[in-house]
Amino acid sequence: MHDIQPSFSEGSKDSNSSEAKWKETLDKVAAAVVSVKFCHTTSFDAEDATSSEATGFVVDANIGYILTNRHVAGPNPFWGRCIFENHEEVDVYVIYYDPVHDFGILRYDPKSVKHMSLSAIPLRPDLVKVAEAVRLVGNDAGEKLSIQSAVISRLDRNAPEYDESGYNDFNTNYIQAASGATGGSSGSPVVNIHGQAVAMQAGNKSRTATDYFLPLDRPLRALQCLQKGEPITRGTIQCQWKFKPFNECQGLGLTAEWESELRKAFPNEVGVLVAERVIPQGPSDSKIQVGDILIKVNGKLLAQFKYLDDILDSSVGSNIELLLQRRGKDVEVNIEVADLFKITPDRLVSVAGASFQDLSYQRARAHGVACKGVYLCDSSGSFTPLSDGCLIQKVDAKATPDLDTFIEVMKTIPDQTRVVVTYTNLDDPRTPRFTILRIDRYWSNKITQYVKNDKTGVWDFTHLADAITRSLPVPSTASFVQLRSVPKAVADITKSIVKVECFVPKNLNGSYYLPRPSVGVVIDAEKGVILVSRATVPHALCDITITIADSVIVDGEVLFSHPMHHYALIRYDPLLVRAPLQSVDLSSKPVEQGASLHFVGFKDKNIGGPMYTRTAVTDVCNLQLEANPERPKLRAINSETLRVDTGLADDCGSGILMDDDGIVQALWLTSLHYAGYSDVYRYYGLATSTIFPVISRVRQGEVPKLRFLSVEFEAITMSQARDMKVSEEWIGKVEVANPSCHQLFKVKKRTIQSDDKSKALLEGDIVLTLNSGIITRLSELDINDDAESLDARVVRYGEEVNLELQTVLADDFETKRAVLFCGATLQPPHHAARLRVGKSPSEVFVSSVRGGSPASHYGLSAATFITHVNDTAARDLDSLLKAATTIPDNTNFTLTTMSLSGIEKVMKMRKNDHYFPTKEWIRATPKWIERVI
């Protein structure tokens, strides 16, 4: 925030005395306005976990109360701080947020403010009036203190509808004004020339420069209750009202007699309240109908929301009498006022990676359903196939009418059990839907309940139950479908194809995308080995489900991952499968252009039965997939691909190509490809001759310890080779060695493994030979003999040089450890990240950042490196953890980071061990071990 420089832009110029008065007022007001920096740490009640900033203002300097918006203070678990005009920063927590209206009250410790005198802004909702000039004093998009002029144009606007899927205020009038408030100004005081808050900024419509202000009647009452130590009672009859002008009410049946009485009683009003929505099974259900006009409450005429609120809030547990006009007839009803807090959830339960709560009044009103049921607020983990916001009706055929029952049902389900879940979507509540979920408790082994503590503002958690050990799997029998009207050798391929799905609990290797289900090919039925794309199994921190013959389901584990050709080998227990699985017969010979083959493919989504066609190979060429420069992810590199003449291949993300004898010539796989704006999936054919050497070793019982050159190559033509000083002698040798394709390969990117330039390839090097063999195809760059070094002859800067190249183990580039720190997932750089930067500035790579976490809040970005914690070098995960464990909870420290482009940045960070404890995952083959630091 900066010194105040008020500007005045009203149509008529204020007098000098008015300007002086405004400046004096604003100088005083600014001392009480704060910038609120906050995190909503967990998704809750349709509000996402997020980090943001807004405005608040001190309303009690002695106790330390700050008024701000509800969409700032709640309903999610909250972690935040406020920054005063002099840039002092103090912690704040939520002491109250309103169940319906858009306001909340934060609390800070006044003793923690050391360098300025605190003052409060008085709340005077009674002074607001049309045509009054006011000022908004607030936070301008999180940057500085700003002041906006406004003129109040309406006092009786209905609450604006922002988004049905999120929070909306209702049952209140809003104040409308013309202004130009920006993001971050939510919660700004709207002050008059005397420095009194007459309203609070709540929203705006930027296109029309229209602002929506919340009246302060209810915030003032809540504040007074807190100051007196009294409970804040809130009553409801579960009916949404809307203010409608008299001319519209006439069409709904308002009689002239009642209109006359209402106009006489409220000469400044131009309308009354009309029932807009009645919540099923609530107190008003069957008593109030949509379109009813509210005439009297407890025998008194009523035309304003604030008086209705007064009556409801003071009548919790009692009955009220309503006189309504329904189609021109008087209707009297007696309704019990319920406690609004009882239908405002303040707890969530985490189970199997997902979060649940009781359905709130906010969600019930938005969708017109009864205010009851188990609401899925974060569909992560085992519940990922469902969408956020659905209602869980049954689990494993057991009804779950409320959260407590749901908890008891989930306690009885053993780990890895597959259950049928019945649910409904709130936008179609009458249609039950069904899905089969695997309740995975390995990655989230406890059922944990979080409950809001109104005294501390923190959500306290308790562990309700540990996971029940999974039942031992039993062998199952299945038979395969048959392809129709194809040669028998081709039809039998279905006995070698399985479906593979993968659940990834943590975003590793820079990936935010969900793994894609696909088919896998049985490489060895006796040993239970399957080959599948790494788009399906991206890394080993996962759960793998293998479905055989659409009948038998078994678990899998990662055996081997290829860093270049983008496939993985996974393993299952063959003793659990009593089905005639067959190992595929793989060709060891390269596929030639023009070959006639059979294509059997499977679509990605909801993998159904096989699709078949006969096709021809139109080309065998280099697979060129661009890397994402900002978020490097694993992709196929240094691979050759087949192109075929069937459009079916463009629809299938997995499949096989075989000859008439049933010999598999190529696999159809999926990889990521950066298309200049985002990552997309690319389908490609990989000849089995490329993978045959690895598969042969697996069939002999080996776990491959593959070595490779950690560089990415790109092809160059002979004309380009001449420009880069390749001799005519070598060009002639290339043309003889490969008559069908004249090309050489240049180093495009490398990961630096050696500072000795005689033992490493450099960008721009053109490889002529490896171990005396001329390199004219990418497949000739594969290392199949585990050689730790290779003799190479290359053209470097126009000169031929001999090199002794050091190879690296593929397994060393696989992710075997991950650390969760301040909401960021950290790991050693994966292969794609190493290729992007060459020499990594540290071995601590930020793979992903969770929304609403300290890492997100303070601006730590994914795809960066952490080089220092305070002054301690973070060379690797061990040194980072050693430095991190010395930092006390809720204290500031610094992180030094480096971007992929080498830009260094120092940022402030603060730990929050309550919501974001430090953990690590370590692979202990085949499982992973979690350790809380």
Active-site residues, by number, are 71, 102, 185
Smallest CA-to-CA distance from 423 within 411, 431, 413, 433 is with: 433
Contact present, 763 and 747 (Cβ < 8 Å): yes
Phi and psi torsions of 774, nearest 5° = -70, 135
Structural tokens at position 48: 């996402």
Q: Give the C-alpha distances (Å, rounded to integers) separating 497 from 40, 486, 548, 550, 653.
A: 45, 17, 8, 10, 14
Contact present, 396 and 445 (Cβ < 8 Å): no
The alpha carbon dihedral of 783, 788, 794, 797 has a sign of positive
Report how far residue 529's alpha carbon sits from residue 545's, in angstroms, rounded to the nearest whole number.
Answer: 13
Q: Give the C-alpha distances (Å, rounded to integers) separating 17 from 9, 23, 127, 195.
A: 16, 10, 22, 16
Helices 305-313 and 217-228: crossing angle in degrees, nearest 10, is 30
The one-letter amino acid code at 862 reads: A
Smallest CA-to-CA distance from 305 within 156, 187, 199, 123 is with: 156
Smallest CA-to-CA distance from 196 within 268, 251, 127, 141 is with: 127
Opening angle at CA 387, ends 385 and 393, nearest 5: 90
Q: Which residue has the tokens 């690319």?
A: 682
Report how far residue 149's alpha carbon sits from residue 136's, in angstroms, rounded to the nearest whole number.
Answer: 7
Q: What share of the chain is helix, strand, coil (3-state, %, to 5)?
A: 15, 40, 40
Query: For 99-143, where are the E strands, in sequence order?
Result: 104-107, 133-140
Count the Cβ atoms, other than its own, within 10 Å of residue 519. Answer: 27
Report how far residue 94's alpha carbon sits from residue 208's, in angstroms, rounded to the nearest whole number.
Answer: 33
170 sits in which H/E element? none
Report how far residue 731's alpha carbon sits from residue 768's, in angstroms, rounded to the nearest whole number.
Answer: 10
Smallest CA-to-CA distance from 565 within 704, 664, 687 is with: 687
